[in-house]
Each structure stands twice: as structure tokens, then as C-alpha cells.
Structure 1
């Protein structure tokens, strides 16, 4: 497995971990009755600010993971893996790991800086595959 694919696999496992980090407190705060329902109505209780942030961080990773997956597939399928793309893949993963507590605890402006590292790491991989 290429280093980029390893980073992608670990990023997917991070997504699973983020889901658990969000789902456990969300079930406690909203109640299993609501979280297991069709959610046709808004919840009668609100989530705590940290739980809501964990949900937004999880959703943000879903969005970023789409572009990162494309970058990894392009690099891998075109046999363009280099030290640059490998470093970028690990930088993406490190940034996404750091993003979870940065978002949960409201670290400003660091949350945005960390997000930017992951985004530009993905962009680096895409551009490197074209060169």
C-alpha cells in the first residue's frame, strides 16, 4: 500500500472516531428517542456547544475527505507518488487530527490555520499529479 493510501485509510478511521466522539454525547443530550427517530421535527433539546462543534468538525471532515480521496486516487492510479505527495498526505492527516480539538474547543484563529494546512496539502497532491 502506498503511503498516500495508508494516510487515506487512517483518515477514514479518523472519520469513524469523529462519529463516535459526536454520537455518544449527542445521544445523551438529545435522547435516544430523538436520535433513533426519522428526525422529522427539530429536537426538543439542544446539544451543548462542544457537541455541536464536534458535529460540525465531523461534517467538515466528510467534505474534506472527498477531495483528499480524489487526490490520493489520482496520485496512486497515475503512479505519481513522490516524497512531496507522501508528505502532503501525512500533513493532511495530521491537520485533520489537530482540527478535531481545535474545533471542539474553539481555538481561533488556529482552527482555520489547521484547516488550511489540510486543504493546501490536498491541493499540493493534485497539482503534483499534474506536473
Structure 2
């Protein structure tokens, strides 16, 4: 099923987010030390703008991935897989990939539009499973 394959690919996008965030965090000695610690205390220095954006984009993807996984499982459970749900899954994946540079580089208002495409695609998949 196309939707399941795309769910797996979207999980790998989360790996990409984690890698980007870790890379940006480890660019400074302070960031490396805090990243390697048990993080019992707040960071001694605030993250730079790109690191902060990477952390927020990663958290956003975790939330989006959860809803998308629910949509994929709902489509599977109801036997609602169709060209529409497959297209929505591809739209979600593409939007989530574009969301990374959009957030990191501050593409305003495009970041929000890209987010809306992925969110809307997930919603359409849920509606397809419901009806």
C-alpha cells in the first residue's frame, strides 16, 4: 500500500530532523557538552537561531507524523486506500520535506502554507477513511 510506504519514509524524515538538530547543536563546545549531558539543567547558552528553528521544526514533525500515522492506519483499517489517499500521502511527504528548509531559512509566509498542505492532506485522508 502506497500510504504505508510513505509513512515509513515520513519516519525517516524524522531521522533527518534529528540529524539536522544534532548537527546544529554540536557546532559549539557548549552545545556538544550539553548535548552529551543528561540535560538535568537548562542549556547554559541559548541555541542560535537555526538550532532553535531546527528543534521547533523537529517537534512539529513529530506532531504531524503522529496524525499522519493515524490517518494511514485509518485508511488501512477501513479499506479506504485510493488514488486520493495515495496522492494525499505523497503531498504530506513532500510538504514535510519542504518544511525543513522553509523553517530553517525563515520562508515567510511559505512555511505556513507548506505546513497547511501537509495538514490538509492528512485531514483529507482521515475524511476518506471516515466516509
State the TM bucket, normalised to the shorter chain: over 0.9
Match of 1:20 in 2: 19
Specify the SS of the correspondent of 1:28: coil
Specify the SS of the correspondent of 2:101: helix
Q: CA RMSD in A?
A: 1.0
Q: CA deviation at 1:25?
A: 1.6
Match of 2:113 in 1: 113
Match of 2:41 in 1: 41
Between the two proteins, the alignment pairs up a number of residues equal to: 130
Match of 2:5 in 1: 6
Superposed CA deviations along residues 83-130 of structure 1, whole A, max 9, x for unmatched, are: 110000000000000000000000111000000000000000000111
> Which of 41-50 and 28-37 deviates more?
28-37
Match of 2:91 in 1: 91
Distance in 2 between residues matched to 1:88 and 1:36, nearest whole Å: 39
Q: TM-score, normalised by structure 2?
A: 0.95
Match of 1:73 in 2: 73
Match of 1:123 in 2: 123
Structure 1 residue ranges without an equivalent (≥5): none
Q: TM-score, normalised by structure 1?
A: 0.95
Match of 2:55 in 1: 55
Structure 2 residue ranges without an equivalent (≥5): none
